[in-house]
């Protein structure tokens, strides 16, 4: 592509990205964490290839001039950008990056109807659309873009890294592979054809009922109040999503959850099928005590062929960092003081240069 054509193409992309927004975005600070005096914050929107407009909070170092290395952040699954992803993005901006925390399609302040739907393809695409947006910003170096996914969006981030070579570095924190847990149950407890067929029949019946009623039944967010026999990891979620620590009214996990059929396609989709083909650096961060640690161990094995249990490991440009004593939700916010923000910033600094 010659220089004049490239210039025209960039201008066309920028014009597309800057088209009028149909979203109504809250302008007040309504995050679950305080605004840092070291960053500048603004709100932006961008569109994915399905035409859905996504809302994002943009954080960059106060008073600094670009072009910056940039990172797109999303997650956890069922959360909004005012929760964990915004906190991670703000810390990255404090460390010199331009970072955006975005709401995935059909959630939060982002567009898409009906609300609270998800799919491996669509949510991987949301990350790629964020890279589209960052790639044409004049204050971003398009050759220095990374992504960071938290919880369920950790799995989406790994899948995005396998799909898009524009992504030069990837972090997945306290990750879930949402397709694996949907197919198999926790720890493979429901990994049978009979269990999957029962789930498919239930989803199919619910689709008929939803269509008949003209509405979508919600599956419910984190259970509240907690039953006496709740598993400890449910208590971990409750301590974040259902208390002032992490509650947000736009978060499905804090309120009424996904649509009951919202994750139907996860049953048949192995998300990390091509994780072994990722050429760029990946850092997996997980808590030693997290019920979900096996997802990061599984992802590390898919990428490297090495099986590890309960300890940090590195092979080539792939690394699993296990945080001693940390639970799954400890890596959502700074309450436990265990999120390795400096380590994550150093990883991006080393690999986005």
147 occurs within a structural domain: yes
User: Model confidence at 4, in pLDDT bands (50, 70, 90)?
Assistant: very low
User: Model confidence at 19, in pLDDT bands (50, 70, 90)?
Assistant: low
% of the chain beyond a pLDDT of 90: 93
pLDDT at 66: 84
7-21, 263-277, 288-302 — which is least confidently predicted? 7-21
Please report, for the domain that includes residue 245, its CATH number: 3.40.50.1820
pLDDT at 278: 98
CA distance 353 to 342: 17
183 occurs within a structural domain: no
264 occurs within a structural domain: no
Average pLDDT over residues 225-250: 96
User: Model confidence at 33, in pLDDT bands (50, 70, 90)?
Assistant: very high
CA distance 350 to 171: 13
Average pLDDT over residues 209-221: 97
Indicate if the pLDDT at residue 262 is higher than 90: yes
User: From the CA atom positions of the chain, what is the Rg in Å?
Assistant: 20
Report the candidate in 82, 56, 74 with the shortest Cα–Cα distance to residue 241: 82
Report the candidate in 284, 333, 328 with the shortest Cα–Cα distance to residue 306: 284
pLDDT at 7: 42
Q: Are 293 and 331 within 8 A, CB to CB?
A: no
Average pLDDT over residues 244-252: 98
150 occurs within a structural domain: yes
pLDDT in tens, 101-127: 999 999 999 999 999 999 999 999 999
User: Model confidence at 14, in pLDDT bands (50, 70, 90)?
Assistant: very low
Q: Are 263 and 178 within 8 A, CB to CB?
A: yes
Indicate if the pLDDT at residue 11 is higher than 50: no
pLDDT at 54: 98
Output the CA–CA distances (angstroms, integers) from residue 131 to 112, 165, 321, 344, in the order listed: 19, 11, 25, 19
Number of domains in the chain: 1
User: Model confidence at 191, in pLDDT bands (50, 70, 90)?
Assistant: very high
Q: Are 174 and 182 within 8 A, CB to CB?
A: no
328 occurs within a structural domain: yes
285 occurs within a structural domain: yes
Average pLDDT over residues 44-55: 98
Indicate if the pLDDT at residue 305 is higher than 50: yes
- Look at the block and give the residue holding tokens 């949402």: 178
Average pLDDT over residues 267-278: 96
pLDDT in tens, 292-302: 999 999 999 99
pLDDT in tens, 159-176: 999 999 999 999 999 999
- The pTM of this model reads 0.93
Average pLDDT over residues 268-283: 97
* Range of the structural domain that residue 131 is part of: 3-177+220-257+271-351
Query: 230: buried, middle or exposed (CB in 10 Å: 19+, 13-18, 0-12)?
Result: middle
CA distance 288 to 291: 9
102 occurs within a structural domain: yes
336 occurs within a structural domain: yes
pLDDT in tens, 74-83: 999 999 999 9
pLDDT at 75: 97
pLDDT at 20: 72
Indicate if the pLDDT at residue 266 is higher than 90: yes
Indicate if the pLDDT at residue 2 is higher than 60: no
């Amino acid at each position: 592509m010659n220089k004049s054509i490239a210039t025209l193409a960039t201008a066309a992309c920028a014009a597309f990205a800057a088209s009028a927004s149909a979203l109504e975005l809250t302008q007040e600070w309504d995050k679950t964490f305080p605004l840092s005096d070291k960053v500048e914050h603004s709100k932006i929107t961008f569109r994915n290839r399905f035409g859905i407009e996504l809302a994002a909070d943009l954080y960059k170092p106060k008073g600094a001039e670009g072009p910056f290395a940039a990172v797109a952040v999303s997650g956890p699954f069922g959360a909004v950008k005012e929760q964990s992803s915004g906190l991670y993005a703000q810390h990255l901006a404090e460390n010199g990056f331009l970072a955006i925390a975005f709401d995935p399609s059909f959630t939060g302040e982002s567009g898409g109807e009906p609300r609270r739907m998800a799919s491996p393809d669509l949510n991987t695409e949301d990350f790629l659309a964020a890279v589209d947006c960052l790639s044409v910003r004049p204050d971003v170096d398009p050759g220095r873009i990374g992504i960071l996914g938290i919880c369920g969006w950790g799995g989406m981030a790994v899948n995005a890294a396998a799909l898009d070579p524009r992504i030069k570095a990837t972090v997945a924190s306290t990750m879930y592979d949402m397709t694996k847990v949907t197919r198999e149950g926790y720890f493979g407890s429901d990994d049978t054809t009979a269990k999957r067929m029962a789930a498919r029949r239930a989803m199919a019946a619910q689709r008929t009922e939803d269509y008949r009623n003209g509405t979508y039944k919600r599956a419910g967010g984190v259970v509240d109040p907690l039953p006496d026999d709740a598993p400890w990891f449910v208590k971990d979620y409750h301590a974040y999503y259902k208390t002032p620590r992490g509650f947000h009214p736009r978060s499905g996990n804090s309120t009424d959850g996904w649509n009951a059929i919202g994750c139907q396609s996860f049953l048949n989709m192995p998300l990390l099928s091509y994780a072994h083909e990722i050429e760029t650096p990946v850092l997996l961060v997980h808590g030693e005590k997290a019920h979900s640690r096996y997802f990061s161990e599984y992802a590390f094995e898919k990428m490297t062929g090495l099986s590890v249990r309960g300890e940090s490991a590195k092979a080539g440009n792939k690394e699993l960092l296990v945080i001693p004593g940390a639970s799954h939700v400890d890596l959502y916010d700074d309450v436990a003081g265990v999120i390795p923000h400096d380590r994550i910033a150093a990883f991006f600094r080393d690999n986005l240069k």
